[in-house]
Amino acid sequence: MQSEALQNVPKNELKNYLRVATISSKTALCFFYIGTNEDSIKLLIDSFKSGITASNYEEARKFLSTEEGRVMDAIIIDTPYNEKELEGFYFFLKNRNLENIPVIYNDFHLTNETTLRENRIIDDVIDLCNWQFDFYSKISFLKKSKEYILSSNKETIKVQPEFSLIKRMIDIILAACLIILLLPVFIIIAIAIKIESRGPIFYNANRAGRGFKIFKFYKFRTMEINADKKIEALSHLNQYNGNTEVARFFKISNDPRITKIGRFLRNTSLDELPQLFNVLKGDMSLVGNRPLPLYEAATLTTNEFVERFMAPAGITGLWQIKKRGKAEMSIDERLELDISYARKANLFYDFWIMAQTPKALFQKSDV
């Protein structure tokens, strides 16, 4: 059965470049899938009311150029990662005024080496091979988030055009100066990490920032290699276990995966220094909300928490200066601080947070 969005599309044209997914009764949304993986298509058919598939970007552009293409609720990309193709597709959507449609990318095609440097198009990254969350909640959140971002950007241009520009200029100048001044420290830390344990000097992983945008997040490696694969085995030690219905944060007191050098780096916040490069790239700001691992961010995709992602991702913020290192911090407290910053953010508030940051650098406990 054809998607409701395709009833007026000529059959001969449709046959040339599209495969129509069958209709299911589960999620009352319509997906647009770019790719050829049969298992992914089956998952989407089982999860959505209707949907359409295209095997590549060229076919996708043809359909999205039609009026019917404007009613898609989400674009799901399941093709090998190609930076230039993604960037070209981003400009296509922008020129067609289709920026409000959430774009989701299959994590299967990303590796540790993928930089996501030109990722303006990607709103979320999920694992289509092991998806266990509700697509309706996920996409509804992303649509709300994009709507909020687009409207707030327009409002900022009208009311306070200088805020974002000045904040960005401050980020670039301070981040560049700090990198130059701290270069000897970078070298010493890199040597210490290599001497103590095998593995890379830097840790990088996908994180969700402002507007749920996905980017590659950098830190000095503080854990043994493959530490992420041990999360399930250590889940019983998670200090947030008491609030699993609210969100899925993961934090362990005296985490056994942390190396000796790593513990020192964490307690002095020196492990955060590589994020200065994220600031230079524009992924993060000096002040904002902490960018979340995707497994944590995925549990916050509800309208209740959408404001949390309206603030830029930051190296320091309210959480760091008020609650950092305190094991009794609850999920509700952390989210309230994040939402509070998103609502109050301004240059003077940023300067105040930066002024309070130095005394919060040394933790009293390892959490």
pLDDT digits (tens, 9 = 90+) for 21-44: 443 445 578 899 999 999 899 888
- The token pair that represents 123 in the structure block: 């709103």
Cβ contact 318:352 at 8 Å: no
Among the listed residues 294, 295, 292, the one whose alpha carbon sits nearest the alpha carbon of residue 235 = 295
Which DSSP category does 234 fall into? G
**Residue 229 pLDDT > 50, yes or no?**
yes
pLDDT at 236 (0 to 100)? 47
Percent of the chain at pLDDT > 70 equals 73
Predicted TM-score of the model (pTM): 0.67
pLDDT grade for 62, boundaries at 50, 70 and 90: very high
**Residue 83 pLDDT > 60, yes or no?**
yes
Q: Find all residues with CB under 8 Å of 52, minimum gap 6, and list them.
A: 3, 5, 6, 18, 19, 20, 21, 30, 31, 32, 33, 63, 72
Q: How large is the greatest C-alpha to C-alpha distance in the chain, in angstroms?
A: 69
Cβ contact 234:256 at 8 Å: yes
pLDDT grade for 142, boundaries at 50, 70 and 90: confident
- Exposure string of 75-100, with b = 16+ CB inside 10 Å and e = fewer, is bbbbbebeeebbeebbebbeeeebbe
**Residue 265 pLDDT > 90, yes or no?**
yes
Which DSSP category does 257 fall into? T
pLDDT grade for 233, boundaries at 50, 70 and 90: low
Summarize the confidence of residues 331-353 as an average pLDDT. 87
Low-confidence winner among 217-231, 233-247, 296-310 (lowest mean pLDDT) = 233-247
2/145 Cα distance (integer angstroms): 29
Through-space distance between the first and last CA atoms of the chain, rounded to whole angstroms: 53
354/351 Cα distance (integer angstroms): 5
Between 210 and 153, the higher pLDDT residue: 210
Crossing angle of the two packed helices 183-196 and 161-181, in degrees rounded to 10: 60
Cβ contact 128:108 at 8 Å: yes
145/141 Cα distance (integer angstroms): 6
Among the listed residues 249, 253, 339, 342, the one whose alpha carbon sits nearest the alpha carbon of residue 299 = 249
pLDDT grade for 245, boundaries at 50, 70 and 90: very low
Three-state DSSP class for residue 290: coil
213/119 Cα distance (integer angstroms): 8
Residue with tokens 């300067």: 351
Report the residue count for the chain.
367
**Residue 252 pLDDT > 70, yes or no?**
no
Domains and CATH numbers, the chain: 4-150 (3.40.50.2300), 160-360 (no CATH)
Among the listed residues 84, 133, 102, 79, the one whose alpha carbon sits nearest the alpha carbon of residue 294 = 133
> Sheet of 30-35: strands edge to edge?
19-21, 50-54, 30-35, 74-78, 103-106, 124-126
Q: Find all residues with CB under 8 Å of 37, minimum gap 6, and list them.
A: 78, 106, 128
pLDDT at 115 (0 to 100)? 63
pLDDT grade for 239, boundaries at 50, 70 and 90: low
261/116 Cα distance (integer angstroms): 29
- The token pair that represents 115 in the structure block: 């930089």
Between 131 and 336, the higher pLDDT residue: 336
Cβ contact 308:291 at 8 Å: no
pLDDT at 367 (0 to 100)? 43
Q: What tens digit of pLDDT does each residue of 170-224 get?
A: 999 999 999 999 999 999 999 999 998 888 999 888 898 887 888 889 999 998 8
Between 124 and 11, the higher pLDDT residue: 124
Between 271 and 70, the higher pLDDT residue: 271
pLDDT at 323 (0 to 100)? 66
For residue 104, what are the β-bridge partners? Answer: 76, 124
Which DSSP category does 312 fall into? P
* H helix runs in the chain, sequence order: 11-17, 38-47, 57-64, 83-95, 135-159, 161-181, 183-196, 260-267, 275-281, 294-297, 318-323, 331-344, 347-356
309/291 Cα distance (integer angstroms): 9
Q: Mean pLDDT for the chain? A: 78
Low-confidence winner among 5-19, 45-59, 104-118 (lowest mean pLDDT) = 5-19
